[in-house]
Structure 1
Amino acid sequence: MSITKESELVGMQNASKAVAQTLKQMMQYAQPGMSTKELDDYGASVLSDFRAKSAPYLTYGFPGWTCISVDNEFCHGIPSSKKY
C-alpha cells in the first residue's frame, strides 16, 4: 500500500493503534484452556470498540477476526473451538 495523502497516514496510524491495543488486551484476556475461537470473539469485540474492521474477515472471507496460532503452529491460524 502506498500512502499518498496525510489522511491516509493518519488512517494507518489509527489502525496501528487499534491493532496494538487489541493485541495487548487479547494477551491479558487469554487463559489456559481457552479456545482460540473464544479469544477471537473477544478480539472482535475490542476491534469493534475502536470502530475498526478486520480486513481478512471482511475483505477475504477469513473465518475469524484475528489470525491466531498456538505454540509452534504456522501463522495466520484459523480460530477454533478446540480447547488447548
Structure 2
Amino acid sequence: MDAYLEEELIDLFTFYVQNPNSQECASKKSRIIEIGRELFEDGGQDAMENMFYSVSIRIKEEIGSDLSENRSWWNGISEGWNY
C-alpha cells in the first residue's frame, strides 16, 4: 500500500508544482492531505516522515523542485508535525 501511496503522492505533487495556477490544484492538495491522514492512521508520524522524505527526494531528482514548504500541508494531522 505504501508504494501505491508514494506513487500517487509523486503524481499529485508533480502536477501541483508544474501547474500552480490550475483549477485542479485544490483537489490535488486535498488528496495529498488525505494521504497524510491515511499514513498517520496506519503508521503514525514516522510513516508520514518517511513518506514525505522519499517523495521529496524523488521530486527533487526528477523535476528539480523543493517540497519543503509543502510539509505544512500535513500540520494538524499529528501533534508532532509542525512545519
Max Rg structure = 1
TM-score (norm 2): 0.36
TM-score (norm 1): 0.35
Could you say which structure has the higher helix fraction?
Answer: 2
